[in-house]
Every structure is written in C-alpha cells, then in structure tokens.
Amino acid sequence: MRLIFVHWVYEDRGSAQDMHNYAEIAKTLGHEVVIYGPRQVKSAFNYSLEINPADAVIFIFEWTTNLQRGDQLDLVRLVGHIPRRRRVVIDCDGKYNDAIDVTGDYNHPDTSVSQRWVEICDSLADKIYQPTCHPLRPNVRSFLFHAYNPIWEMPLDFKAKHYGMYYVGNNWFRWQPMRRVLAVLEGVRAEVGRVGFVGYGWDAPAPWANSTIMEAAYYTDPDYLRQLEIEVQPPIHFHEVIAAMGKGVFTPVIYRPLFDRFQLVTCRTFETIAANTIPLFTQDAAFVREVYGAHAEELVLGPHGTEKILDVLQRSDYYADLVREMRRHLAAQHSYAARIKELMEIVAS
C-alpha cells in the first residue's frame, strides 16, 4: 500500500524522526510512505504530489492544519481523489478536544477555534485517532503513532560523561516542568556537574515567539539558568538527537502540561530510551508503567527527586539494567513495524 502522510515537517523538531522511520520500515514490509508536497532536493524525506485512488491519506496534525509548501487546492485534491474510508486523521497535539487550559498551556485559545478545528477534522475523515491510550472524546480511538526502533540503541556506558544532566528539546510550553526538575536539581547542583540544554527558546525567545502567541508558550528565565550555570546550545537535526542525549548521565523526560493532562506520547517518549543515558520521568507513575513496563517506575522522579538523582549518579550501572528492560519492552510492544501493521488495519477497517 502507498501511504501519503500529510504533515508539516521540520527536520530539527517535532516528529521528523517518526516520518523518517515510517518510510524506512514501510519499505521492508512492501509498502511506500511519501509526504505530500513538491520534491525537496536537500530534504531527507520523500515528497510527492502524485495521488492515486488506491492510496491512503494520513493527516498528521501537529501544531497546524495547514499544508507545507502547498496551495489552497491541496486539500481539495486529496479529498477528491482518495475515498473517505481511506482517509485517517492523527491528532498529535490533542486539539480534537474541547478548548482546555492547563496552567497556561492550552490546545485552543477559545471554544470557537476548537469547534472549527473539530469541524475540519470531521470534514476530512471519520477515523480520528490520538497518540494516547485514553482519548477523551467517544469517537476518538487510540493510535500511539510515535514508536521505537531498536537500531537506535546506543551502548550504555557511563565512564566518560561530560555532563551530569543533558536535555535535548525545544522550549514550547515546557518551562514549568523543566523549572520543577531544576528545583530538584538545586539541592545537588555541585554533585551533578555540568548541565546542558540543546534547543530553541531556553536562554532567549525562540524564533517563532511573537505577540500573537501566548507568552506561556515560550516563557523562560535566562537569569535563573545562568545562576545554575546551565549551558545552552543550538538545536540539532533529528539524526543527531539520540547521540546528543547520551552526553549526560541522565536526562529528564518532560512534556508540556497539556500533554501530561491528555497522557499523550511523543517522539521523545521512545527516543530517550535508546540513548546512552538514564531517563528520569516527570510523568505520573501509572502512565510510565503503562508505556514502558513495570521496571520503569523506579525511574520516576517523584517526591524524593533529589535522592533519586544522587542514586542515579552513584549507581548508574544498576539503573542501566532498568533501561535495558525498557528497551526490550519497547522493541516488543512499540516497534515501527507494529505501528505500520496497526495503521494498515485502521485504513482497511
């Protein structure tokens, strides 16, 4: 089957890693994945404007319903050529919900915008999915979309780390959860050693920051970061993410507050486990257990986060064994091959 992914791809953020892996794994299974759009000479992705009636169209909405490098007739072409039964919407940001605000993080600015978004999705497909095990709307089903690839796995070796903590990711509504991690870190700052952040929006406003976006989306506190001697570095290509995370003994797994409320998974949910680092989870223990398996619960920061950080630094080999257990679990339950098989079943249903 030929799958046309409709998605606005950035190669230094978002679900670029997933787009690449879906395309690569699909080939081994006898399928083809293309991204709708004109061909891009320097891109890592296979773009195509060709539409065949036998294709399936997967609308992957992440931060926008607009189409990348397209025109106003793109949706008309897609909807006109592909039967409705072969069209699927994957709502990665939880926007196919009522408007909700979680401590300043929101999916829509108001109810009217939420209604318009829902109407757009309903006009495109009957099959609406979200990457959560627990969708809120009764007509939405679970498809986790993001996945794990065992070939990413880096050897776990903590002998020559340059950083105690290293975080790779942009600041988009993430200051609150990161601030809580740093508050825990303060008590053992000297023991942790160097701390590095990679990404937009940590020590200065991100390039997309402007007066039309709520300040909470890109709020940061550069003075506080300097006080803690946090080293901030520019964003990197998706191919470099897993290797970069391995610069630290541990890396926090943080989601924006809205994603925690919806219990959404992201690309980083799975990438982090493949890196040469110990993940420390800031999510609810039940969520961590459901996604990663029972072994992962020991890596939840929880109410005794300072002690947990010290223990990870002192007993990294013990926690590395937990990471290996999680890797086995993810490879068995959350591979891209399994996701593609499930997506084919969704299209055929």
Angle of helix 16-28 relative to helix 267-274, nearest 10 degrees, comes to 80
Per-residue model confidence (pLDDT) at position 333: 96
Per-residue model confidence (pLDDT) at position 41: 73
Q: What does the H/E/C string look like for the chain?
A: CEEEEECCCCCCCCCHHHHHHHHHHHHHCCCEEEEECCCCCCCCCCEECCCCCCCEEEEEECCCCCCCCCCCCHHHHHHHHCCHHHEEEEECCCCCCCCCEECCEECCCCHHHHHHHHHHHHHHCCEEEECECCCCCCCEEECCCCCECHHHCCCCCCCCCCEEEEEECCCCCCHHHHHHHHHHHHCCHHHHCCEEEECCCCCCCCCCCCCCCCHHHCCCCHHHHHHCCEEEECCCCHHHHHHHHCCEEEEEECCCHHHHHHCECCHHHHHHHHCCCEEEECCCHHHHHHHHCHHHHHHECHHHHHHHHHHHHHCHHHHHHHHHHHHHHHHHHCEHHHHHHHHHHHHHC
| Structure tokens belonging to residue 106 | 């929101």
| Structure tokens belonging to residue 161 | 């780390």
- CATH 3.40.50.2000 spans which residues of the chain? 150-333
Per-residue model confidence (pLDDT) at position 64: 62
Per-residue model confidence (pLDDT) at position 11: 58
Per-residue model confidence (pLDDT) at position 340: 96
CA distance 274 to 295: 15
Domain 2-147+334-348 fold is Rossmann fold (3.40.50)
Per-residue model confidence (pLDDT) at position 68: 55
Beta bridge partners of 168: 198
pLDDT in 10s for each residue of the chain, 349 residues: 999 998 877 655 567 788 889 999 999 999 999 988 888 777 777 888 899 888 999 999 986 656 656 666 677 888 889 999 999 999 999 999 999 999 889 999 899 999 999 998 999 999 999 999 999 999 999 999 999 999 999 999 998 899 999 999 999 899 999 999 999 999 999 999 999 999 999 998 777 777 666 677 888 999 999 999 999 999 988 889 999 999 999 999 999 999 999 999 998 899 999 999 999 999 999 999 999 999 999 999 989 999 999 999 999 999 999 999 999 999 999 999 999 999 999 999 9
> By the 8 A CB rule, do 166 and 244 touch?
yes
CATH of region 150-333? 3.40.50.2000
Per-residue model confidence (pLDDT) at position 312: 97
